[in-house]
A and B are shown apart, each in its own frame.
Chain A
Amino acid sequence: MSNGARNGLLLEGVRRFGAVSIFLAQLLAQCLPSLARPRLTVHQIYNAGARSLIIIMLSGLFVGMVLGLQGYNLLQRFGSEEALGTAAALGLLRELGPVITALLFAGRAGTALTSEIGLMRATDQLTAMEIMAVDPLRYVAAPRFLGGVIAMPLLAAVFSVVGLFGAQLIGVQLMGIDKGVFWSQTQASVALRDVNEGLVKSLVFGVACSLIAVHEGYHAEPTAEGVGLATTRTVVASSVLVLLLDYVLTAAFL
């Protein structure tokens, strides 16, 4: 790659980062005023949260079951299969819960947010609001952003709980680990710090995924192709950013 092209790419990256940061600042400034209409935010928590519950619970169950199988198989080699509860709980709470929930959120709720806002842009609904002297950032963007940020930790918690149940299903019911040992080991090894790590991660992912989804929709080219492209960008950018942030946060917590 030539120097010029590299500089251009860098400049474009910085420009995009700047644009998203300014958008985040504008969005945050509108979050409090948007709470004057709490119904809007509650509706968005329902859209992003409650309507993602089935996919989150199903995924959580299977991820937990796989964790049970792989964990049991691995721990058995060292004769310490009772530690399965600990392994599953820590893995789910600190990593898999927040990360997989965020990836699923980007695919389900994030794309829905982007295409909805993008279509509102394409059909002049956002412009109509501006002409009616209603700030679409306050009425449309902020409640959706808040909804996503609030829903994400809740979904991650549900994911971890169902996942742990899945691991227990395999370890205790199928492989015959003692139920009491499984749970007491889990209880003894999971500290509040681990729960907090997952909570902080899912909050950060919630901000990142919701911000990207709302930003892409809000600035989508007002055409069918433009909205499609924006939706794709939401999934790609959210997924990469979640994995990157996960590394940074994990490093920070260790």
Chain B
Amino acid sequence: MTSTASAQSVAPAADVVVEVRDVDFALGGRPIFSGLDLTVRRGRITAVMGPSGTGKTTLLKLITAQAFADRGRMLVFGQDLATLGGAGVYALRRRMGMLFQNGALLTDLDVFENVAFPVREHTDLPEPLIRRLVLTKLQAVGLRGAAALMPAELSGGMARRVALARAIVMDPEILLYDEPFVGLDPISLGFILRLIKHMNSALGITSVVVSHDVNELASIADDSYLLSSGRVVAAGTPAELRASRSVAVRQFMTGSAEGPVPFHYPAPDYATQLLAEDA
């Protein structure tokens, strides 16, 4: 296993966009994180991987201040989320973009209006400028021709690309991707992968990609974290994670049945239960 400290401690403070320090978080009495440590550095693509149910999406909720840590510190752009008020949180969110798993497009607006939505809400730009801005972003995701379509008319991959155009329309400093590869055909998946890379390299947007698709992530990520049982079990570049000799890391990276994550959900003894129900 690569040392968890190696990928985190080298970054100078100014370079750090998100800093998670010793965070505990429980949902409905069930602990999700205990002692979570994680750093997202500026201008890089950070992958957060882990089996389903390890709290990857919850981590994005903590970063976007939809939920707050029970213990520990969550710093985003150097600001402690726990001390920000409602207005502070909204100001912070204007510097972020987020891509939801299902796109989360507003169903009563067409594609163009969906992308224009944040611009209209936050600026007083004249209509011709909004039009150009939206068309530019739609062109970037290859869907300028779909501007007049309604969300219900889009395929899953197209909806996600429109949502990406909407997420970048306000030129955020950090983009959060929640399971961007789930349920996509290989072509759409390739589009999304290239777009994530492009947003990062051409626009310099810091990216956090939460996913369990190891191979896809490995091809684009600069840093990766592997979460399990509420904490980071491995951190480093994708190559370092692949080379890890930890059984937990190897099980996840290779999808093996052998490892600390069992196939069976905890249950009483099989034979005892069968016989008891027989009687």
Residues of A near any B CB (own CB < 8 A)? 119-120, 123-125, 127-135, 139
Interchain CB contact (< 8 A) of B93 among A123, A125, A131:
A131
In the complex, B11 has a CB within 8 A of chain A: no
Q: In the complex, are the beta carbons of A127 and B93 less than 8 A apart?
A: no
Q: In the complex, are the beta carbons of B107 and A123 less than 8 A apart?
A: yes
Give 7 nearest A-B pairs by CB, closest first: A124-B104, A128-B104, A133-B93, A133-B90, A131-B98, A132-B118, A133-B94
Q: In the complex, are the beta carbons of B100 and A132 less than 8 A apart?
A: no
Q: In the complex, are the beta carbons of B102 and A124 less than 8 A apart?
A: yes
Sample (20) of A-B pairs whose CB atoms are under 8 Å apart:
A119-B107, A120-B106, A120-B107, A124-B102, A124-B104, A125-B106, A125-B107, A127-B100, A128-B105, A128-B106, A128-B163, A131-B64, A131-B66, A131-B96, A132-B121, A133-B91, A133-B93, A133-B118, A133-B121, A134-B117
Interchain CB contact (< 8 A) of B104 among A125, A133, A135:
A125
In the complex, B122 has a CB within 8 A of chain A: yes
Contact with A along B232-253 (1 / 0, CB 8 A): 0000000000000000000000
Q: In the complex, are the beta carbons of A124 and B117 less than 8 A apart?
A: no
Question: CB-CB < 8 A to B100: which residues of A?
Answer: 124, 127-128
Question: CB-CB < 8 A to A129: which residues of B?
Answer: 106
Q: In the complex, are the beta carbons of B106 and A132 less than 8 A apart?
A: no
Question: CB-CB < 8 A to A131: which residues of B?
Answer: 64, 66, 93, 96, 98
> Given the complex of chains A and B, what is the CA–CA distance between A127 and B118 in angstroms?
14
Interchain CB contact (< 8 A) of B66 among A125, A127, A132:
A127
> Given the complex of chains A and B, what is the CA–CA distance between A132 and B66 in angstroms?
12
> Given the complex of chains A and B, what is the CA–CA distance between A120 and B153 in angstroms?
17
Question: CB-CB < 8 A to A128: which residues of B?
Answer: 98, 100, 104-106, 163
Question: CB-CB < 8 A to A119: which residues of B?
Answer: 107
Residue of B whose beta carbon sits closest to that of A132: B118
Question: CB-CB < 8 A to A124: which residues of B?
Answer: 100-102, 104
